Amino acid sequence: MITDEQARWFNQTFEQIVSNVEIAIRGKRDVIRLAVSCMLSEGHLLLEDNPGTGKTQLAKALANSVQGTHSRIQFTPDLLPSDVTGVTVFDQEKRTFEFHKGPIFASVVLADEINRASPKTQSALLEVMEEGRVTIDGVGHPVGSPFMVIATQNPIEQAGTYRLPEAQLDRFLMKTSIGYPDHEVAMELMLQAATRDRSATVSPVIVSSAVQQMATFANDVHVEPSIVAYISNLATESRRHSNVRLGLSMRGCLAFIRVAKTWAISKGRSHVLPDDIKDLAVPIMSHRLLLNAEAQFSGVTTERVIDELLASVAAPVERAV
């Protein structure tokens, strides 16, 4: 179990990273907190958003904040798996094959419009996300640490897209959206229109090796058995819900635990509270619940179902640890 001093250091560093990223993404502190929590939980983030909301700025600012590297892959129907992972090329002078790394080898990879690529290319990306390495001709090439994929989906213009299957959606730790800025922030950004790339002004807050240290601290956060039971009950009830065809998976339950630990220590605590589970319910569960046809036709949303689950499943009584 971590000490109070370690929890305080984590909290201060976490808030510094969030404030640093906010230089590029104004007025979206809650979304940034989720993105940073996702990285420190060693997971990947899915953004379903309209064009021009700052997804690239978020990825670049996050990479700059941890002194990491950034790459962007524009997914298109003709994109090949090797365009993502890299390819082995024969060097005629050395008479050997050399591996040329693809854009997946970066600290933060923005996979833009992932649903526009073929299922084969999607699978290549998701395999790297799961394994943390690229295997070419039987040789493994680790992508390094930290490593985070921020994939985007455009909620409009679905013609010619390849919808991600539920089993692949489940591999993303969280799903959220940035959304448009409010009036005041929009005015501020337009008055500073001469600054084309706000993320370029973001300087490192920590070195990339410190991300692993923070992830280790988060992993040591205490979770009461009652909290684990609460998550299990939410998962069970999600599978029984009348509007749900596919409920929360075991991978989703494990994701809940991982992110809840990071969320708790980001607030300076060494233990998880029931409120942490409630705060994270939508980003953890929204892309993992599959509604049945009748519910979709009736206009029922996953957010509404999640609210019903939180209202129907009793949370454990908080107590001091």
DSSP helix/strand/coil, 108: strand
Note the pLDDT of residue 319.
60
Which residue would you say has higher pLDDT here, 98 or 311?
311
> How many contiguous H segments (helices) and E segments (strands) does the chain have?
13, 11
- Residue 167: its H or E element: helix 166-169
Report strand pairing: 108-112 vs 133-136: unpaired
Length of the chain: 321
- Per-residue pLDDT, 179: 84
What confidence category does residue 116 fall into, taking pLDDT thresholds of 50, 70 and 90?
confident
Q: Is the pLDDT of residue 103 over 50?
A: yes
Residue range 33-76, pLDDT digits in tens: 999 999 999 999 999 887 778 888 999 999 999 999 999 999 98
Contact 134, 140 (CB under 8 A): yes
Query: Mean pLDDT in the chain?
Result: 89
Separation CA 51–CA 32 (nearest Å): 18
Residue pLDDT, tens place only, 221-280: 999 999 999 999 999 999 999 999 999 999 999 999 999 999 999 999 999 999 999 999
Q: What is the pLDDT of residue 122?
A: 86
- Predicted TM-score (pTM) of the model is 0.91
**How far, in Å, CA of 146 to CA of 151, rounded?**
16
In 3D space, the residue among 71, 45, 72, 55 whose CA is nearest the CA of residue 21 turns out to be: 55
**Residue 29 is which amino acid?**
R
First to last CA, the chain: 11
Residue 91 identity: D
**Rounded-to-integer distance, Cα 303 and Cα 249, Å:** 17
For 117-142, what is the mean pLDDT? 85
Poorest-pLDDT segment among 10-14, 165-169, 256-260 = 165-169
Q: Give the list of residues 6+ apart from residue 288 with CB closer than 8 angstroms, or none.
A: 166, 169, 170, 246, 248, 249, 252
> How many C-beta atoms surround the C-beta of residue 123 within 10 A?
14
Residue with tokens 């980003």: 283
Res 159: pLDDT:
55
pLDDT at 197 over 90: no
How far is the C-alpha of 264 from the C-alpha of 163, rounded, in Å?
33
Is 74 within 8 Å of 117 (Cβ atoms)? no
Cα separation of 28 and 47, whole Å?
14
Range in 85-89, 157-161, 178-182 with the lowest mean pLDDT? 157-161
